[in-house]
Structure 1
Amino acid sequence: MAKEFGRNARVSSQMQKELSFILQRDIDDSRLGFITINEVVVTKDLAVAKVYVTVLNVDEQGKRANVKVLNELAPVIRHQLAKRMRLRHISELRFYYDDSFDTGMRVAELLSDLDKPIDSDQDKQDEG
């Protein structure tokens, strides 16, 4: 039976914290916007880490550009990560855009539109 909070989960959690710190403090690239690390998913053998990010205040093309830059900078980021984490082998980093935030905002918009009353009664009074 697997442990409730196994090694993969601990490594993922620590990697998320360290990557956030590295992107905030160590990586100084003007091409990058305001990036948030949403989740890190590490394979069982810790060989690959899928890093899910969101970028605020950019359009679709800007999101793709930021992810491309992050993947280009992945070796540099991985080197910084190796300095900060006590692991014999640091996972290969692969960055992906996490659209769950955008989807959540769209759902919230749709739900708020449902809350707005339909002004058909008001229109009828204005006509009469």
Structure 2
Amino acid sequence: MDSKRQQKFSRLIQKELGEIFQRDSKSLFGNVWITVTQVRVSPDLSVAKVYLSFLMTDNKEQSLADVNEKNKAIRQTLAAKIRHQVRIIPELIFYLDDTAEYAAKMDALISGLNIPAASKDKDEEE
């Protein structure tokens, strides 16, 4: 369970990183659309785990590798934006958020189930 302080800090980082990726993603990453889906911050606020979702790309792992390659520049840009609000600029660790793919897979599995219809005799007895 995150403290209120961690929650506020993670929301701030998510908002600012979202703006950074929206504004600078075209120059840094080409046509890849990057969304910050979730940020989890350590209790001492020194590490932020950032979950990213990628659109308009075929190779999401390569896009994540590109983001990790530019981690230092992204952290410096974040530091410039939030330096008056926080004391510590956290280390950023980026992860691929595959929630949408997982949900689509589960939806396909559920829709593919063969569930027999309930018989009318059992319904009439109740």
TM bin, normalised by shorter chain, reads 0.7 to 0.9
**Contact 2:29 2:66 (8 Å CA) reproduced:** no
Aligned match of 1:48: 47
CA contact (8 A) 1:31 1:69 kept: no
Aligned to 1:10: 8
Matched length: 113
Alignment TM-score, normalising by the size of structure 2:
0.78
TM-score, normalised to structure 1, is 0.77
Alignment partner of 1:75 is 2:72: yes
**Contact (CA 8 Å) 1:31, 1:66: kept in 2 or not?**
no
Q: Secondary structure at the match of 2:28?
A: coil
* Structure 1 residue 32: Cα displacement: 6.1
Q: Structure 2: state its 5+ residue gaps.
A: 117-126
Q: How does 1:1-128 map to 2 (within 5 A)?
A: 6-27=4-25, 28-31=27-30, 33-59=32-58, 62-85=59-82, 86-114=85-113
In structure 1, what is the Cα distance between the partners aligned to 2:102 and 2:46?
30
Identity %: 37
TM-superposed deviation, 1:94? 0.9
Cα RMSD of the aligned pairs, angstroms, is 2.3
Runs of 4 or more off by more than 4 Å in structure 1? none
Give the Cα–Cα distance (whole angstroms) in 2 for the partners of residues 52 and 39 of structure 1. Answer: 5
**Structure 1 unaligned residues grouped into runs of 5+:** 118-128
Aligned-partner Cα distance in 1 for 2:71–2:57: 21
